[in-house]
Structure 1
Amino acid sequence: MIRTTNKVSTWGAASALAVFGGTVTGPVAAADNVSMTGSPMEEVSVTASRIQREGFTAPTPTTVLDGELLIKSGATNIGDALSRMPSFQSDQNASTNTLGGAAGRRYANLRNLGSQRTLVLQDGQRLPPSALTGQTDLNTVPQILIDRVDVVTGGASAQWGSDAVAGVVNMVTKKRYDGFETDVSYGMSNYGDNREKRVAALYGTSFADDRAHFTIGSEWVDNEGVGNMYTRDWGREEWGLVSNTGYGTNGLPRTLTAPHVHRNVLVAAGIISTGPLAGTTFNSDGSSRPFVYGSPNGSGAMSGGEGYGLGDGVARRLSVPVERVVTQARLGFELTPDIEVFGQANYGYVHVNTWGPSAGDNAPITIRSGNPFIPDELQSRMDTLGLTSFGLNRFAREDIYGNGYGTSTEIDNYTRNQIYTLGVNGRTGGWTWDGYAQFARSAVKTRGTGYRINANFARSVDAVLDGNGNVVCRSTLTNPTDGCVPVNLFGLGSVTREAFEYYSGSQRTETIYDRWVVAANVSGEPFSTWAGEASVAAGVEYREDDAELIQNDPIALARGYIFGNAQPLSGSDTVREGYIETALPLLKDKPFAESLELNAAVRETNYRNSGSVTTWKVGLTDALNSSVRLRTSFSRDIRAPNLSELYTSVSSSNVNVINPENGANLTTRTETSGNAALTPEKAETFTAGIVLTPQAVPGLKFAVDYYDIDIEDVISSVSTQQVVDFCYAGAASFCALITRLSEQSAVVRAPLLNLAGLKVKGFDTELGYGFELDSLSSALAGRLDVNYFLTYQPDIIVDNGSSSTNRAGDMGTASTPYGGPKLKWSGYFTYSLNELSATLGVRYVGNGKKNVMYTAQDIDDNSVKSATYVSLALGYDLPAWRDTAEVQLYANVQNLFDKAPPFDPTSSEGNPYNATFHDVIGRTFMVGFRVKP
C-alpha cells in the first residue's frame, strides 16, 4: 500500500541511538527535511498525516524509531522498546501480568490513557485484536521486517479512525529487499535466569524482469522467564504494608510500612482463625502448635513471625516465559510501472506458560468436630471446650507434581494470528491511490490445570469415619459411588495427589476474533494557492468484527471453580467510514511566516452497534524562519466500545451497601455485565509546540510540545453503592437499574456505562545534537551524538461520575491504568569511530506516591522513590568480511548497576514492586551477530 503521508528526514543521532538496547529514538516531530546531526539523510514518509507532500510538516508531534538498527541492538520485542520511551507506559508486559489469559502480552499505552486508546497499525492497516478488549499484542509483530516505527503522540481519529485517542503506533515494514539477512542473539540476567534465544532471517528477491518482488521474514524468540521475587535480594526483604490495629491510641497512622511482611491469616500449613482455638497452626506432620506472630500484627499481615511474604510472592513469577514465532511474506507484481498488485500473509504464534497459587481461602473453611484428620490433642481441646467446629484459613500451595514452584495451578496460553491481504496501489495523472481487502483472525486457546472445584472441595473437606473405621467423605455415606476423596488440610504436604485431583479440574477456553476489511485511499494536489500547492487525501473503509469466547465446561458455566469461570461471549460489529484531509498553504515568504500551512481532516463513521459519530482535526504550522517553527492542532477523537464491553454476559454476586434513605444495610444481588447500548468515548485534544533548529549550531534540534486531552463518556464500571447513591440523588436512569424486593433487599444491575471522564495534560521535550569531535580539537577523533527525551505529566484527572481525582504521581494500582510518575526522561550518549560504536543510556523514572488519596493519617510513608537505570551497548563491524557481507558483532547490558526496584506495593496483589514502572529483573546481558548482504 502506498502511504498517503508527508515526508521528513530521519536523524543520524536517532539512528545511532537505536543501537542502544532497543531504545526508541527518532526526530522530535514530523519535521522539516533537515538533518538532525548535520549529516544528509534520505527522506521517509511518516504517519502523522494522510497527505503526501514534499516539505509538508505535520502539526502533530511524531517520533520515528529506526527498526533496522533496533534489530542490531538485540532488542527482541518492539513492545519492550516502546516502553522505554517516556511518552509510553508499560501497563502490560511479561512482568506486569503473570497469571491468567493475558499473561505475557505486550500492549502499547501512550499518555497513560490505557492501551485500548492507542491505535496500532502495520503499514497503515489495523492489526487484529489479540483480546476481546481490542488491544493488539506486539509479540505478534515480525521485528526483523520492521523498517521503522512511527509514533504519533496526539489525537488522530480523523486520519486513522477509532482508538487513536492517545495516538498511533504504525510499524512500517520492508517491502523490497534483495539478498539474505540473519540475526542471532543470546541473553540472560545476572542471576542466571531470563535466558533468551533469538534467531531471525530475512530474504528478498526480484524476478520477471524486476517486475515481481518477493520478501519473507521470520523470527523465533524463546525467553525462559524469571522465578518468584525470592530469587532476588530485594524480594527476600519482603517489604509490605501492615495495618495498625492500635490506630487512635498509639499515635501512628492506619497503615505502616515494614520489612519481612508475612500473611497471618492465609498460612500454607493452615491456621485456625475463629473461636477460642484461633492462632493455632500445624507442623509438617499435622500436629498443632501456636502460630508465631510478628509485630506489628495487623489485619491480614504482620512484620516478622513465620509464614511467607504478601502478594502470593512464592507462587508468582517476576517475568513469564514467552516463546514466539512470527513470519510475514509479501509478493508484489507491477502490472505497469505505475501500478502494483500484491498479496501478503502474516502468521504469528505466541506461547506463554505460567503458574500461580491453587487457591487462597480468605473466608474460613469449616472443619467439623470428629473429622479424623484433626490432631488428637486438638480434638481433645475441642471436646473440652464443647466446640462443634472451627474455621481454618489456608493458602493452597500444593506442590503435587513436584515442579518446585509450590503450586499445582499451571496455565498455558496459545495465540495464533493470521492476516491475509490482497491489494493494489499506483499513480494516475498525479494522483496516488491504493486499495486492499483483508481477512485477519486471532485465536487464543487457554488451558489451565489445578483449579479448585468448590463443590468437590466442600465434600472432600468434610471427612468422617465409616463403619469399618475408614476415612471417607460424609457424602459417601449416603452415596457410595460419588468418588469423593477426603482431604487432610493440616500441615504442609498433607494433601494427597488423589484428593487434589478429585477436587481440582482443568479449564479450557478458546477465543476467536475475526476481522474483514475493505479500504481505498487516494491523494493528490488538485490546485495551487499563492503560497504553494494544496494537497487532498480521501478514503473509505468497511470493517466487520466477529468475536466468540467458547466455553463448554459445565462447571465453569455454573461458576463452580474458585476462580476463572470464563463465560461464553458472542458478538459482532460493522463499521463504515469515510474521511477527507487537506493541507492548504496559507502564506509564504512573509515576515513571521516563511511558511504557514493549514492541515484539516474530517471523518464520518457509522457503527452498527453504537451509531454514527464525526471526528475532525485542524492544525497550523508556522515556520517563522529557518530556525524556529511553531505548530498547534485541535481535534475531536473517539474510542468505540469493544466487543467485550458490549457483550460480556451477566455475572451475579451478593453485596451489602448502605441505604442512603435511612443509613441501614441493604442486601443486594448485584448483576454486572457489558452493555449493548454503550456509545463511543469522545475526546478533545489540543497540542501546541515549538521546534528549534538554530542555524548557528548545526546538528542541534530541540522541541517542546504541550498536550491537553479531555475524554468524556468514558466507558467504566459502576459499583453497587454508586448505583444506589446516584438514584437517591435523583438520577432516574440509575433508579431504573434497581428492583426492590423488600425494605432490606434489592436486585441491582451494574452494567458498563458511559459515565466517567478522563483528562491528561503535560509536556514532551526532545533534544538531539551530534557533531564530529575534531570540530572541538584536531586531537580528537570520532563522532558524538547526544539525545534527550522527557515527558512531564502533572495532570491525570479521573472522574468516576461522583468525584474527581488527580492521579498524576500515583504509583499504585488504585489508579490503574491511569496513574504513573509525573516525570520520566531518557538520555543517550553515542560515540562512534570507524567500525566501533558505544552508547551509554540513562533512563529516569520519577518519584511518586503509593496512593495519592492517602493522608498523613493513612500511611507512615506514602512515597515511592525515583529510579535511574543505566545501560551500555557496544557494536563492532568486522572489516575482514567487508568484501562479501556486512557482519556486526554486538553486545549490550541493561540495568548496568543492577538497580533494585523501589518499594512500590500494588494493592491488587500486595507485591512489593510495580513492574509497570520499574525493572524487576535486574542486570541483563545480550550478545549477538548480524549478517546482511
Structure 2
Amino acid sequence: MMDISLISASYQKSSARASTRSWHRSTSALALALVALAITLQPGVALAQTADADQKVQGEDIIVTGSRIARDGSQAPTPVTVVGRDLIQAAAPENLADFVNQLPQLAGSSTPRNTNLGVTSGQSGFNSLNLRDLGVARTLVLIDGRRSVGSSDQRGLVDINTIPQKLVQRVDIVTGGASAVYGSDAVAGVVNFITDTKFTGVKSEVQGGITRYGDDATYQASLTAGIDFSDRRGHLLFDAEYARNEGVSAVNRDWGKTGYQIINNPAYTATNGQPQRLVATSVGFTNIVPGGIITNTKLKGTTFGPGGVPTQFNYGSVVSDPWMIGGDWQASNSVVTTNALDPATKRYNIMLRGDYEFSSSLHVDASFSYSDSLTVNLCCHEYFLGNLTMKADNAFLPTAVAQQAAALGISTFSFGKFLTDLPRFGARLDRQVYRGVLGLNGKFDALGIGWTWSAYGQHGEAIIDERATNVTNTARFLQAIDAVRNPSTGAIVCRSTLTDPTNGCVPFNVFGTGVNSPQAAAYLLGEASRRQKLTQDVVEAQISAHPFSTWAGPVGIATGVEHRVEKLSGTSDDISKTGGWFAGNFLPTNGSYNVTEEFAELDVPLAKDLPLASLLNFNGAVRFTNYSTSGAVTTWKAGLVYSPIKDIRIRVTRSRDIRAPNLQELYQAAACLNNAPVFNPFTGINDTARECSTGTTNLKPEIANTTAYGIVLQPRMIPGLTASVDYYDINITDGLITYARDVIVNNCFAGLQSYCDAVIRNATTGAILQVNRVPFNAASQVERGIDIDASYTRPLSDIVASWPGAVTLRYVGAHYIKNVLNPGVGLTSDLAGNNTSAGVPSWRHYITLAYNSPAFTGTITGRGISAGVYDNSFIQCTSGCPTSTAANTTINNNQIPGAFYLDLAATYRFRTKGSKIEVFGAISNLFNRDPVPVSRGPGFLPLVATNPSLYDMLGTTFRFGIRASL
C-alpha cells in the first residue's frame, strides 16, 4: 500500500522536498476510555495536495484519513493509497469512479456496465465502491471525512456520481478496518473524497469522448468559482457539472456473438471419464427462438419465422437442454445479445459552500449540494424458456401445424419464445440527492492545554424514482395469447372475450415475427414503478489535543460523540404489489433505525532518535456503538509504527470492525411466490408453501477481525524512491446471508430456533404453510492478501541541468492470496483467483510512467489482471476424469485468461493574459483489446459473454477536452 507521501504532485522540484512531504495516514485503535472528555473531535479533513499548499503545511501537524488526531503523518500505522487531482485530470475519466476502480485495492465494484441488467433490483446505473471484493456494503464512503446520505438503492450505498467530480482534490483509500474511527460499514476500509474547499478564482472544463466504434459518446462541462472576502476570513465556493453518456444499446461487438457458454455434458456418466461440464462456443438455446418453438409432443422442433411461416429447427450436434452446440444456435444468440452494453446516463451536480472565521475560537462552514442522475437502460426482449402452454386450437396457429396437431391428437403443447414484436424492456432510474451540512470548529485553551474542537450537523435526502419500462402485464398477456375465432363473426378474439365481451382484451400472436399490430402491443405493455426516499441525519461533535508530552514527543488524544438516524420510505404501483408484471414488480420498503456512538483515540510516541529506534509510536482507538435495532457493540483498533532507522518503517495494526445490517436487510417488503414446493422433514412429505423474501430485525452486526503488517522503505541513498509492502488478514464472522427455502427448513428441523422463526407451520398437521427467506448472521469469510505500492521520482535536472520537469514511475499491485467464503450451510469456496463475477483475480496491477513539467504532462498507464479460473474447486480434464461431485465438479476448461491494457494521456498548458489554458487528451485501451470470454452458465442467460467488472468491454476510447482558469 502506498505511503501517503506519494500524494505529492509527480513533478517535484527536489527529492529532498518530496521526502519532507512524507504524509502517512493513520487508522487507529485501542480501548481508550482514558479521557472522560466527552466532547469530540474532527474527522480526517483535507490535507493539501499541490506543491504550493504543501509548503504551507510543512512542519505542522496534519490530520490524515483514518485518524482524528493531528500528527506527523509518518507515525500512521495503517497504509493509505492516495490518488491526487493531477493523476485524475491526466486520465480524464468519464467519471471519477471509473478511475478509482482501476486501483488494485478495489474489486467487484458496482458500475453502470455490470448493473445494467438490474431492472427488477433497481440497481442499474450507479457507481458504488468495493474494497477487497468484500462487498459494496462493507466499504464506507466519506466526503471530507463526513458521511453522506445513500443514493443508490435500499441498501443506502453512496453513488459516486453524486460527488462533485471536478472539485475533488484527492481520494484517500484506507485499506483496512476503520470502524473504531469512522463507525459502521468500514469493514473493508474507507474511501474518503477530499474536496478543494479553498479554491479561489474561476475554472471551467469541457470534455468529450467516443469509442473507435463511434458509440458511447460522452459529454462533460463544469464551472467552479471561489472567492475570498473580509480579508480572507470568509470564502464562498460554487461548483456545477453536467455529464452525459449516450451509452451502447446492444452488444454490438464481434466478441459478444460467439455463443460462448458452459453447458452440462449430455454424455457424462459417473464412470465414463468424461467431464460433467463443457465450455464451448456456438452454443444456443433449444427451447426459445424469436418466432417461437414447440418444445414437446411430436411437434417438437417446429419453429415459426417471419410472418409465421413454420420450419423445422436444427438442434445441432450436442444437445443438453436447454442448450445445444451448433445447429440453429444463432437464432437465439442473436436476440440474447441485444441487451445494452452500457446504459445511457445523464447527471447534474451543483454545490454551494461558504465558510467564515469569526475568530480563532470559531470557524463556521455551510454547504448545500444537489445531484440529479438519470439512467436509461435497455435490457432485452421478454422471453419464455419453453414454459408457455399453448392450445392447439389457437386461432393464430398456422393451418398446416393446426391440422398436424389435430391428426396427432395434440390439444396443448409447450412453447418458447422471445417477444421480438414488442420493444425491449428496460429501466429508467432518476436519483435526486440533496445534502446540507453545517460545520463548526475552532481552538481554545483550557487547563494549560490548547484544544481543537469541531462539530457538524448534516441532513441528506435521496429520492429514487425507479421504473421498469415496456414490461408486459402478465394477466393480460396470458389472456391475449389464448386467441380463438368468434363463432358468430369469425374474427380472432381472446378466449376470455367470449364470456366477457367488454374486457377489452386484444389478441396477441406468438407464432412468428412481425405478426402483431401496435394495438396488440399497447394492450400488453405498461410500466412498473417505485418511488423511495432515503433520509440521513447526522450530528457529531469532537475535541482533540496534545495535553502533554513524553520525552519522545507530544501525546495526542481525541474523543467525541455521534448520533445518526437512517430512514427509508416508499410506494409502488398496484400491479407490482401483486407481482403482476413480467419484470419490475417493485415493492416499497419502509423502516428506520438510529445509532449513537462514543469514540476516543490515543496517539503516544514511545521512542525517537535512538540507536535502532528512530521512531516508535503507538496509536489506538475505541468506539462504543448502540443501535436501536441490534443493541450495543464495541469496535477498537491498535497499531504500532517502528523505524529502526529513518529509511525503514514497520507498521502493525489489529482491529475489530463491524457492519450493521442496512435498511434493506432489516425492512425489505415481502416479495412472495405462491405454490413453492418444499420437502417437510417433520412429516416426511412434500408440501406446497408460500415463499416470501423479506427483511428482518432479528439481525446483529457482522464482526471483522483484521490484522495487518507492513514495511515502508524510503532509502536516503536513492532519493525519490518510496516503496511499501503490506500483508493483511481479515476474518469476518456473523456475516449476513440469505438462504434458499429448503436450507431454512432443514436448519429448523435440526433444532435451530432462529430458523424456525422463519417457518410458519400448521399447528395441527405440521404442514409448512410459509417460509420467509430472511437474512441470517450465519456466514463467515477469510481474506488474506498483499498490497504493494512503489514510486520513484527523478527530476531530469539531476541528469542534465537544463532539462525541465521530472519523471515518475509508480506501481500499485494487489495479490489476493485467499478469499474463502463459508455460507454456514453448504460448500465453502475460495474466490481468490476466480475471474468470474463471483470472485477476484489473484493479482491486479496498476502501473504509471509520467513526465511532468510546467508546460506538459504525459502519462502511460498499464492496468492488468492475472489469469484465473471459473472455480477453484473445479477439476479440469477432457478424458479419464474422476467422478464429478458437488464439491469438485469436472470441466473440460477451467481457465480464464488475464488481460493487460495500455492507456495514454497528455496535457499541454499555456498561459494568456491573466489566465491558464490546458488542452488534454486521453486514449483508453490503446490496442483495442477485446474482453476475455467468460461464461455465466449453465444456469444463466448468456447476456454478456464476459465479466464486465474485470474486462474492458468498450474497446479503444478517445477523450479530448480543454480547461481554463482565471
TM-score range, shorter chain: over 0.9
Correspondence for 2:97 among 63, 69, 79: 79
Correspondence for 2:70 among 27, 35, 52: 52
Match of 2:539? 518
Correspondence for 2:948 among 894, 900, 915: 915
Correspondence for 1:343 among 366, 374, 377: 366
Match of 1:887? 917
Residues 74-131 of structure 1: CA deviation (Å, up to 9, x unaligned): 2242211111000001431121011322211101100110011000010111011112
Counterparts in 2 of 1:309 and 1:155: CA distance versus 1, 3 Å: farther
5 Å-filtered alignment, 1:9-408, equals 9-12=5-8, 14=10, 29-30=24-25, 43=57, 45-67=63-85, 69-99=87-117, 100=119, 101-130=122-151, 131-229=153-251, 231-248=252-269, 252-306=274-328, 307-308=330-331, 313-399=336-422, 407-408=423-424
Higher mean displacement: 840-849 or 829-838: 829-838
Distance 2:227 2:55 in 1: 25
Q: Which amino acid aligns with 2:782?
A: K
Counterparts in 2 of 1:416 and 1:595: CA distance versus 1, 3 Å: same
Residues 455-502 of structure 1: CA deviation (Å, up to 9, x unaligned): 111111111111110111111111110001111101112232222222
Deviation at 1:651, TM superposition (A): 2.6
Distance 2:5 2:812 in 1: 19
Counterparts in 2 of 1:91 and 1:209: CA distance versus 1, 3 Å: closer
8 Å Cα contact 2:257/2:333 also seen in 1: no
Q: Which amino acid aligns with 1:141?
A: I
Residues 521-566 of structure 1: CA deviation (Å, up to 9, x unaligned): 1111111112211001111111111111211x22111111122211
Higher mean displacement: 761-770 or 830-839: 830-839
Counterparts in 2 of 1:28 and 1:520: CA distance versus 1, 3 Å: closer
Match of 1:554? 574
Match of 1:753? 776
Higher mean displacement: 744-753 or 95-104: 744-753
Distance 1:862 1:80 in 2: 29
Distance 1:538 1:294 in 2: 71
8 Å Cα contact 2:290/2:513 also seen in 1: yes
Correspondence for 1:904 among 926, 931, 934: 934
Residues 839-886 of structure 1: CA deviation (Å, up to 9, x unaligned): 1111111111123333335321111100001111111112xx254222
Correspondence for 1:786 among 789, 809, 815: 809
Counterparts in 2 of 1:625 and 1:308: CA distance versus 1, 3 Å: farther
Equivalent residue of 2:467, what SS? strand
Distance 1:549 1:27 in 2: 48
Residues 807-830 of structure 1: CA deviation (Å, up to 9, x unaligned): 1112224x3xxx110111111111
Correspondence for 2:828 among 804, 809, 818: 804
Match of 1:674? 695
Equivalent residue of 1:342, what SS? strand
Distance 1:454 1:8 in 2: 57
Match of 2:559? 538
Residues 123-158 of structure 1: CA deviation (Å, up to 9, x unaligned): 111011112112111011101111111111110000
Match of 1:872? 904
Match of 1:413? 429
8 Å Cα contact 2:679/2:687 also seen in 1: yes
1:488 is the counterpart of 2:509: yes
Correspondence for 2:668 among 633, 648, 671: 648
Distance 2:161 2:451 in 1: 36
Match of 1:925? 958
Counterparts in 2 of 1:751 and 1:760: CA distance versus 1, 3 Å: same
Give TM-score, length-normalised by structure 2. Answer: 0.89
Q: Which amino acid aligns with 1:444?
A: I
Counterparts in 2 of 1:350 and 1:564: CA distance versus 1, 3 Å: same
Distance 1:812 1:174 in 2: 38
Deviation at 1:746, TM superposition (A): 5.1
8 Å Cα contact 2:668/2:695 also seen in 1: yes
Counterparts in 2 of 1:676 and 1:794: CA distance versus 1, 3 Å: same
> How many residue pairs are counted as aligned between the two chains?
902
1:824 is the counterpart of 2:831: no
Deviation at 1:659, TM superposition (A): 5.6
Equivalent residue of 1:930, what SS? strand
Residues 673-704 of structure 1: CA deviation (Å, up to 9, x unaligned): 11111111111111110000011111111100
Counterparts in 2 of 1:35 and 1:754: CA distance versus 1, 3 Å: closer
Higher mean displacement: 603-612 or 560-569: 560-569
Equivalent residue of 1:449, what SS? strand
Distance 2:701 2:207 in 1: 44
Distance 1:444 1:283 in 2: 41
Equivalent residue of 1:109, what SS? coil
Counterparts in 2 of 1:656 and 1:732: CA distance versus 1, 3 Å: same
Match of 2:880? none
Match of 1:859? 891
8 Å Cα contact 2:108/2:135 also seen in 1: no
Match of 1:845? 865
Distance 1:52 1:602 in 2: 17
Deviation at 1:301, TM superposition (A): 2.1
Match of 2:42? none
Identity %: 33
Unaligned runs of 5+ residues in structure 1 are: 1-6, 17-25, 400-406
Distance 2:429 2:54 in 1: 47
Counterparts in 2 of 1:137 and 1:309: CA distance versus 1, 3 Å: farther
Distance 1:218 1:72 in 2: 20
Distance 1:384 1:701 in 2: 83
Equivalent residue of 1:569, what SS? coil
Distance 1:308 1:241 in 2: 18
Counterparts in 2 of 1:176 and 1:34: CA distance versus 1, 3 Å: closer
Equivalent residue of 1:616, what SS? strand
Q: Which amino acid aligns with 1:162?
A: S
Counterparts in 2 of 1:824 and 1:885: CA distance versus 1, 3 Å: same
Distance 1:847 1:655 in 2: 41
Counterparts in 2 of 1:774 and 1:449: CA distance versus 1, 3 Å: closer
Match of 2:791? 768
8 Å Cα contact 2:391/2:411 also seen in 1: yes
8 Å Cα contact 1:73/1:890 also seen in 2: no
Q: Which amino acid aligns with 1:585?
A: P
Give TM-score, length-normalised by structure 1. Answer: 0.92
Higher mean displacement: 515-524 or 79-88: 515-524
Q: Which amino acid aligns with 1:440?
A: G
Q: Which amino acid aligns with 1:810?
A: N
Correspondence for 2:482 among 458, 462, 466: 462
Match of 1:639? 659
Q: Which amino acid aligns with 1:158?
A: A
Counterparts in 2 of 1:769 and 1:302: CA distance versus 1, 3 Å: same
Match of 2:31? none
Deviation at 1:652, TM superposition (A): 2.6
Match of 1:403? none
RMSD: 2.6
Q: Which amino acid aligns with 2:435?
A: I
Match of 1:3? none
